[in-house]
Amino acid sequence: LLLLLLLAPWGPRVSGALRGPRRRWPVPYRRFDYRPKTDPYCQARYTFCPTGSAIPVMKEEDVIEVYRLQAPVWEFKYGDLLGHLKIMHDAVGFKSSLTGKNYTMEWYELFQLGNCTFPHLRPGMDAPFWCNQGAACFYEGIDDAHWKANGTLVLVTTISGTMFNEMAQWVKYDNETGIYYETWTVQASPDKKSTVWFDSYECSKFILRTYQKLADLGAVFKKIQTNYTSIILFSGEPIYLGNETSIFGPQGNKTLAAAIRDFYNPFKPHQSVREFFVDLFKIIDRVILNHQFYLFYNLEYWFLPMKSPYLKIIYEEVPLPVGSKGSFGV
């Protein structure tokens, strides 16, 4: 995965926010009052949501089929390569029975995975510079070939037009308040009952939230197996370090600031193969041999005392939600 992230498309944060209170594990993902404007420095190699459109208002009596969509990450560029590693991207599809129109809805990074996972170290700036936002994208059509060729396109439930419109209002709220992409799940061990320190916030979590919202509205889901990709770091109990101001500000901790910048330096975009492998050895030395990882989560920095097996990609079953009695669907 480190190879994948180092080679991921980069382009280059978004304004900070006030520090939130510490809570019990896992640290809850923080929501915000609005989505801040992106800095012009942050540029994506691939345009976000190029054919996106507003979510339409459906007629109440419409019956809408809901499809589970899944394909390997970057399938458009690498085919099923990452599918062999079970690194999958998730989306949801809709088909109106009244109009016959299809729609796709998904959630992903505005500036590609590398930028959401690691910062840029810009000259003249003490603090690492983050280009990290994620957002929902809705557009007309379902690319059957994309989802079927190397992934999944399967009917999971049917809903009414009224339920679809209520879901659309929830998507607007979710999209305006859940603005930062979080790549990593961090937990104490591979054991399924182990403590989760931080949970990820990425494409599959959006789909799971959408399914749950539909279930809350009355949808009944088919009994089919559904698996999702998680990228997990394994760590002892994390140590809270502070936010950008407390670490990198005028009264900050210069020693800690230097250590964080030094940690992130090997994850920068690379211009040569030699530079890439030199930095890869530095990453292995710090993360595996010295058990160090600095995590940026909710605009705050944490130290992770890493432990074996350090990192793992899992493709784990998460059952579809159970609808209530009298629900709509099949």
Report the SS3 class of residue 76. helix
Scanning 43-193, the segments in alpha helix (DSSP H) are 75-78, 112-117, 144-150, 161-177
Tell me whether residue 89 is one of the annotated catalytic residues.
yes
Q: Whose structure tokens read 């382009």? A: 11
Cis peptide bond N-terminal to 26, omega within 30:
yes
Q: Are strands 102-109 and 185-187 parallel, antiparallel or unpaired?
A: unpaired
Q: Is the dihedral of CA 295, 113, 75, 227 positive or negative?
A: positive
Tell me whether residue 291 is one of the annotated catalytic residues.
no
Choosing from 42, 131, 137, 203, which is the catalytic residue? 203
- Tell me the HSE value of 107 on the side-chain side, using a 13 A CA sphere: 25
Vertex 209: Cα angle to 203 and 210 (nearest 5): 90
Joined tokens for residue 230: 């998680």
Scanning 95-201, the segments in alpha helix (DSSP H) are 112-117, 144-150, 161-177
The answer to whether 168 and 138 are in contact (CB under 8 A) is: no
Residue 222 to residue 253: CA distance in whole angstroms: 54
Residue 2 to residue 261: CA distance in whole angstroms: 18
Choosing from 42, 89, 120, 131, which is the catalytic residue? 89
- Tell me the HSE value of 93 on the side-chain side, using a 13 A CA sphere: 21
Active site residues: 89, 203
